[in-house]
Structure 1
Amino acid sequence: MATIADTGIFSERNIRRARLGSGLVMFTFVVLHLSNHALGLISVAAADDGRRLFVALWRNPLGTLIFYSAIFIHIVLVLRSIYMRRSLVMPNGEMAQIVLGLAIPLLLIDHVVGTRIVHELYRYADNYETVVRQLWILSFGNGIRQAVALIVVWIHGCIGLHFWLRYRPWYDGLAPLLLALAILLPVLSLLGFIEMGRTIAEPDYEGLVDTGRYQENLNTRYYSDPHAQRQIAMIRAGLYGSFSLALLSVVAARTRRKWKERTDQIAVHYPGGETIKVPRGFTVLEASRLGGLPHYSVCGGKGQCSTCRVQILGDYQRLPQPDQLEQKTLERINAAPDVRLACQLRPDHDITVAPLLIPATETALPANTQETSPGREREIAVLFCDIRNFTSLTETRLPFDIVFLLNRYFALVGKAVEQAGGRIDKFIGDGAMALFGIGTSPGEACRQALKAAETITSEIEKLGTELADELTIPLQIAIGIHFGPAVVGTMGYGRVRNLTAVGDTVNVASRLESAAKEFEAALVISEPVADLSGADMRGIESRDISVRGRALPLKVYVIHKEQAGGPLNGKA
């Protein structure tokens, strides 16, 4: 099936934005509504006071238009996305979001009809005293249903918000706080509802408040006129029927399309010998999922990442040209002409592909899973350090003595890095690699790296003095620090996986550590590190060095041991 045009108001990008925007409007409504419920922990009167502000915001003409337009747009676009999916095989998180979302109208239609619609038609006062009395005393089963609806709505919204934010650079740092809020708000809301229900159910409550307001509600036309009740019943049935009809229409359209596609299939071949036949119009990613083959798709098949990319083994020029969204992503990663995004490529003939981010030997990876910490580009500071002349230091020592020395060295390096706010990436022989800036600003990352280098230099000198009688030559360190973009993500195989970084920045930092040995210095830092950290480099030797893979020389600062305590403090 042809996709909607990739440009103009109805482009896929704008459709996704509309779905996200409408979802955020509804999520804002839910957050304020649950917060209002939580005021019930104080008193029924406090909850009603909060309700007046809530109603003033959402029941004015503009608020009503925005909110109910968001509901309509979101439902329509969700149903469209279900139809557009050529396969319903998907990761569990996506499936949970869809199933919970489809359950929401069925759980909330009664509540909407019994509050907003009855209020608009018959001036029914749907305040907390009336609604809680109805759900807690007169119809406790409906109260349980609304509690379930609250949880379903909240989980659905939180999953959507998580999918939207999970790859923002700042999200990891805020995730624990957001999780706490995600748990706390619905709990407080339910507790507020329970507390109001218990209060209103108390026999003494009738004597403490003016219950005439409740009696006025009972005397409204909604309760006294059978015609009004039939009208409300018809509205309720119409809403249930409309949603059910829309959902059944999507199912029927998918069934009709599937029946027609059985006679028009193509084969997708994989390097491992697997062949998956799918209807023409399926994406390669959908073919992989349908066949149960592991295939990464960090963004969920929206063309906003390149983790699902595949190499076309054969005549790639016969394939449909990439649309604007896919082309932009491919250009960003400098992809070769025979590389395409599996989530966007809809082949119109048999094709052979090789997923580029799925190792063929990694058969233990469950089908349809996504990497828990996929690689994404960040600007970080990378520190490499190494013991100078380590071979000479250890050639006459016993193996246990070497292990003892290395463990002391690794301990002081690890402690210095962690205290400065960085993260030890790995230990390699007598060398170590550390990352700074995964959750901080560039300037702070560089200052943290310099602080760690200062501490390592100082502690190595103390360790050298302590072990002077046992060492044949003085213990000295060489450190290199560089700042720039790198791909940071979980890499490895099987259980041996860890967060690491790769890229030119890492290679340059390693080269600077080697340069520190060549210049017999304690530390060599690149010009970006010096500038971003605000370190005072007056009186520090600077040099231009060549770095493999770079056309132009790189300006660096060479800092000797006796200078390490000065410029590293900088302006921080």
Structure 2
Amino acid sequence: MFPAAASRSAPSAVTPSSWWRGIGLRQVRLSCGLVLFTYLLSHFINHALGNISIDALQAGVVIHAGIWQFFPIAVIFYTSAAIHAGLGVWALYERRQFQWRTVEPLQLVLGLTIPTLIVGHVVGVRLGENLYDIDRSYPQVLASWITSPLRLWSMYTVILVAWTHGCIGLYFWLRLKPWFRRASPYLLAAAVLLPTLAMLGVFQGQRAVAASLASPEWQAANLGPGQVGTAAQQVTLAAIIDNLLIGYLVLLLLVLAARGIRILVERRVGMISLAYGDGRIVRVPIGLSVLEASLRHRVPHASVCGGRARCSTCRIRVTSDLAVLPEPSARESFVLSRLGTDGDPAIRLACQLHPTADLAFVQLLAPHASSANAHATHPARIGQERYLVCMFIDMRGSTMLAEKRLPYDTVFIVNRFLAAVSQAVVASGGKPNQFIGDGELALFGLNCDPQTACRQALRAAAMIADNIDELNQALQHDLPQPLRFGIGIHGGEVIVGDIGYRDNMVFTALGDPVNVAARLQDMTKSLSCDAIVSEGVFASAGVDVETLPAHDLPIRGRVAPIKVRAVSDTRLLTTLAPHAPSDTVTV
């Protein structure tokens, strides 16, 4: 269980002032991006109407323009566009290291490319209407593309570029949402289908206009000065387009030059040393965040959200002089306050801390790579009955832990717990088989005799306690109380095999011993012990358990109660003596 400390308020209780502190550049960029992506959705749906007819295109644009030219919405839209574009240029200057080595730079490049692709369209349609009252719509735009195919391919390109840029941003935002895995196939289908329909709609609209373009009546009705402007007006608009393109390219060159100047200045100012808790020391220029320094030097560093200050898994404890640390940003203070660690100045977010002097620290949530693939090695006989020892392990108090922490941090801690358990299981000869929430089913005896399987299970239970102690030591500054667990162990004949459907097959065990082990694990709560082990497992293992309290427990689904032993501390299992002196295998 993880009750909050008496003096600590629940992290979920966010006051209005702390809510404002949680708004940073990334949150502003996301909000503006969502507005622009909504505009893309509306515009692409309008384009897709071209698959019906040119009249449908025209009817759709009336609705589309009526929504987005409504003054309050227009203000929001153009403000969002300006801010999002400005933050994109700022990101080109400010970003030093990328968490996702290919996708993040691709998103940035695509975003910076969009203005060069749409400036002609925006000036010709919107600015032409505002300056000269030119009523330019689909027939006029499509007719200009027929006479200049380069413009058509430029529009196809901007559709793909803008859509891809927006989808990458949405993916970074949604990928850690609990429902994203279930919804991702449908989102992917929509992400592919909508721009395809939009481009097909533009193509069909162009064909309809091309069929009418030779008609003098159509030209008189659609290509007059009121629809496309006079020659002088077109020259003026073309000059505006050229000047905007030149100005934008000059701005990008200035930003790149500023990056180069910053690098030279940082080298002249000097380098600083970052000392990790494991003895590793790296030299980095002033200005990099601690997380960026780790990425640059390929030092493993936990960061579930990718350095976006949406989680706290990258946090560190500074062990050097705190007086030289820069003040935390509003966003960093918000995240730390959600954790209840804002009163400790030594706790900082590595993605937000930009040290200006030598720094020594330890990672509070060290990255951990563990593979607990349950069916990486299948037993020789699949789909047969055999004796296995089943162990259920459950983390206590995970519900309260989730209530008082950021979702990403809860997932990180649960994964660390399951990794510690799985390490003990694998080291003892067992196989982690299923992960159910914060619990795990482990199997022993897939490749050994029953006596060895029972001893492996008891040895694993003892090692789990040691591993969880080490994990609690690593997390001592982040949890009000240590992590606790409950274990149920029972052995018997089960059916092993691949269970599931098509590509979703998993290797597992079915039978009464699995259910009994789960029930015993649940009963550890009422008996206030770490583990409950059936008497049969101890008997097969050949150890003396007279010192352990015995119980006859009723099991739901079974007529007769089962005799078990309650283990208050699983480390005691290493002290149990074998029945016979000749048995040299220790537990």
Tell me: CA distance 1:297–1:382, structure 2 relative to 1, closer, same or farther (3 Å).
Answer: closer
Aligned position for 1:329: 335
Query: Deviations for 1:524-564, whole angstroms, at most 9, x for unmatched residues?
Result: 9xxxxxxxxxxxxxxxxxxxx99989xxxxxxxxxxxxxxx
Does residue 281 in structure 1 map to residue 287 in structure 2?
Answer: yes
Does residue 84 in structure 1 map to residue 94 in structure 2?
Answer: yes
Equivalent of residue 243 in structure 2, options 238, 253, 259: 238
- Aligned to 2:78, what secondary structure does the other structure show? helix
Q: Is the Cα contact below 8 Å between 2:135 and 2:226 reproduced in 1?
A: no
Aligned position for 2:206: 197
Q: Is the Cα contact below 8 Å between 1:35 and 1:185 reproduced in 2?
A: yes
Q: Is the Cα contact below 8 Å between 1:89 and 1:289 reproduced in 2?
A: yes
- Aligned to 2:268, what secondary structure does the other structure show? coil
Matched residue type, 2:70? N
Equivalent of residue 375 in structure 1, options 412, 420, 425: 412
CA drift at 1:302: 2.4
Does residue 186 in structure 1 map to residue 195 in structure 2?
Answer: yes
Query: Deviations for 1:105-128, whole angstroms, at most 9, x for unmatched residues?
Result: 011111112222223333333322
Matched residue type, 1:52? V
- Aligned to 1:276, what secondary structure does the other structure show? strand
Tell me: CA distance 1:87–1:112, structure 2 relative to 1, closer, same or farther (3 Å).
Answer: same
Aligned position for 2:141: 131
Query: Deviations for 1:9-44, whole angstroms, at most 9, x for unmatched residues?
Result: 996724333221211111011111111111111111
Aligned position for 1:177: 186
Counterparts of residues 112-127 of structure 1 (less than 5 Å)? 112-127=122-137
Tell me: CA distance 1:245–1:478, structure 2 relative to 1, closer, same or farther (3 Å).
Answer: same
Distance (Å, rounded) in 1 between the aligned partners of 2:527 and 2:167:
40
CA drift at 1:159: 0.6
Q: Is the Cα contact below 8 Å between 1:27 and 1:157 reproduced in 2?
A: yes
Distance (Å, rounded) in 2 between the aligned partners of 1:231 and 1:323:
46
Aligned position for 2:72: 62
Distance (Å, rounded) in 2 between the aligned partners of 1:324 and 1:395:
59
Query: Deviations for 1:146-187, whole angstroms, at most 9, x for unmatched residues?
Result: 101110000000011111111112222111111110011011
Q: Is the Cα contact below 8 Å between 1:384 and 1:513 reproduced in 2?
A: no
Equivalent of residue 257 in structure 1, options 252, 259, 262: 262
Aligned position for 1:480: 519
Matched residue type, 1:409? I
Q: Is the Cα contact below 8 Å between 1:130 and 1:214 reproduced in 2?
A: no
Tell me: CA distance 1:179–1:521, structure 2 relative to 1, closer, same or farther (3 Å).
Answer: farther
- Aligned to 1:164, what secondary structure does the other structure show? helix
Return the structure number with greater relative CO, CA threshold 8 A, min gap 6: 2
Aligned position for 2:225: 220
CA drift at 1:85: 2.7
Aligned position for 1:538: none
Distance (Å, rounded) in 1 between the aligned partners of 2:452 and 2:112:
72
Equivalent of residue 52 in structure 2, options 22, 38, 42: 42
Counterparts of residues 379-528 of structure 1 (less than 5 Å)? 394=450, 408-411=494-497, 415=499, 460=512, 477-480=516-519, 514=532, 518-523=551-556
CA drift at 1:91: 2.7
Tell me: CA distance 1:211–1:124, structure 2 relative to 1, closer, same or farther (3 Å).
Answer: farther
CA drift at 1:513: 7.9
Matched residue type, 2:495? Y
Q: Is the Cα contact below 8 Å between 1:516 and 1:522 reproduced in 2?
A: no
- Aligned to 1:477, what secondary structure does the other structure show? helix
Q: Is the Cα contact below 8 Å between 1:311 and 1:340 reproduced in 2?
A: yes
Aligned position for 2:169: 160
Aligned position for 2:38: 28
Tell me: CA distance 1:519–1:49, structure 2 relative to 1, closer, same or farther (3 Å).
Answer: farther
CA drift at 1:83: 2.8
Q: Is the Cα contact below 8 Å between 1:308 and 1:342 reproduced in 2?
A: yes
Distance (Å, rounded) in 1 between the aligned partners of 2:85 and 2:126:
19
Distance (Å, rounded) in 1 between the aligned partners of 2:18 and 2:439:
47
Aligned position for 1:140: 149
Taking only the aligned residue pairs, the percentage that are identical comes to: 32
Aligned position for 2:464: none
Tell me: CA distance 1:276–1:213, structure 2 relative to 1, closer, same or farther (3 Å).
Answer: farther
Distance (Å, rounded) in 2 between the aligned partners of 1:298 and 1:42:
45
Query: Deviations for 1:300-356, whole angstroms, at most 9, x for unmatched residues?
Result: 322221232334454456534544533443465576875432111222211234445
CA drift at 1:230: 2.8
Query: Which ranges in structure 1 are unaligned for 5 or more consecutive residues?
Result: 1-6, 363-370, 398-404, 433-455, 465-474, 484-504, 525-544, 550-572
Aligned length: 433
The 10-residue stretch of structure 1 (115-124 or 29-38) with the greater mean CA deviation from structure 2: 115-124
Q: Is the Cα contact below 8 Å between 1:41 and 1:196 reproduced in 2?
A: yes
Aligned position for 2:273: 267
- Aligned to 2:307, what secondary structure does the other structure show? coil
Aligned position for 1:529: none
Matched residue type, 1:235? I
Equivalent of residue 71 in structure 1, options 57, 60, 81: 81
Aligned position for 1:559: none
Q: Is the Cα contact below 8 Å between 1:312 and 1:352 reproduced in 2?
A: yes
Matched residue type, 2:263? K
Aligned position for 1:557: none
Query: Deviations for 1:70-109, whole angstroms, at most 9, x for unmatched residues?
Result: 1111111222233333456863221111110000001111
Aligned position for 1:401: none
Does residue 98 in structure 1 map to residue 108 in structure 2?
Answer: yes
CA drift at 1:48: 1.4
Distance (Å, rounded) in 2 between the aligned partners of 1:126 and 1:183:
29
Distance (Å, rounded) in 2 between the aligned partners of 1:507 and 1:83:
55
Tell me: CA distance 1:118–1:212, structure 2 relative to 1, closer, same or farther (3 Å).
Answer: farther
- Aligned to 2:136, what secondary structure does the other structure show? coil
CA drift at 1:194: 1.7
Query: Which ranges in structure 2 are unaligned for 5 or more consecutive residues?
Result: 1-16, 371-407, 416-434, 454-490, 536-550, 558-565, 571-587
- Aligned to 1:514, what secondary structure does the other structure show? strand
Q: TM-score, normalised by structure 2?
A: 0.62
- Aligned to 1:409, what secondary structure does the other structure show? strand
Distance (Å, rounded) in 1 between the aligned partners of 2:225 and 2:524:
73
Query: Deviations for 1:438-459, whole angstroms, at most 9, x for unmatched residues?
Result: xxxxxxxxxxxxxxxxxx6xx6
Distance (Å, rounded) in 2 between the aligned partners of 1:237 and 1:90:
35
Distance (Å, rounded) in 1 between the aligned partners of 2:249 and 2:105:
19
Q: Is the Cα contact below 8 Å between 2:139 and 2:222 reproduced in 1?
A: no
